[in-house]
Amino acid sequence: MKNAVKILREKKNMTQAELAERSGLSLRTVQRIEAGSILKGFTLKALAKALETEPETLIFSNEETPNIDRAKLINLVALSGLIIPYGGVIFPLILTYKTKDPVNKELGKNIVSIQIILAVIVSVLMIVSPFIQKELSLKIPLFLIFLIAFLCVKLLIIIRNGMCLNKNGDLCIKLKNSFL
């Protein structure tokens, strides 16, 4: 990943030597910063002035965003629960526990926690639906309504979380406390 100094320097069509001259820093310092050294103090201010930007721009753009591809895969695999009963829990759980990266592991745990709650709710609804149907003397199969509603909610949650993972790198729909 390119850092902010290199990106801004290239946008201004400057060489490293030109940036070093404008900022009053050595060429070696500019090379080290573009290679990933941390910016602070005088160096930060000098580079920001030479690149005609605010120092904060150089600091915050330098931070790498975590790679959340594994979390996106875990969220996508939760779709298997639409076809395979409890597949939305089992397969994401396996992927989560095989994940080494702590950020992806935590996102995976949040995804699995939601899927567990959904699986418990649909299971309870499937068990009680015949009794509710009999009590209300309904002719339509109530379990189908619960099942279709569950599938729609599950699909919406997975799509919404997938969009948020792409946009923010975090889940929009998650529990306050993951129980895994």
What CATH number is given for 4-62 in this structure? 1.10.260.40
Residue 64: alpha-carbon gap to chain centroid: 14
Tens digit of each residue's pLDDT (9 = 90 or more) over 100-128: 888 889 999 999 999 999 999 999 999 99
CA distances from 126 to 113, 121, 141, 151 (A): 20, 9, 11, 13
pTM, to two decimals: 0.63
Report d(CA 85, CA 118) in Å as an integer.
12
Question: What pLDDT score does 10 carry?
Answer: 87
Q: Which helix (H) or strand (E) holds 29?
A: helix 27-34
Say whether pLDDT at 61 is over 70.
no
Q: Within the chain, which residue ranges are assigned CATH 1.10.260.40? A: 4-62
Say whether pLDDT at 91 is over 50.
yes
Cβ atoms 108, 74 nearer than 8 A: yes
Tens digit of each residue's pLDDT (9 = 90 or more) over 67-76: 788 999 999 9
Cβ atoms 164, 171 nearer than 8 A: yes
- pLDDT-derived band at 64, boundaries 50, 70, 90: very low
| Averaged pLDDT of the chain | 88
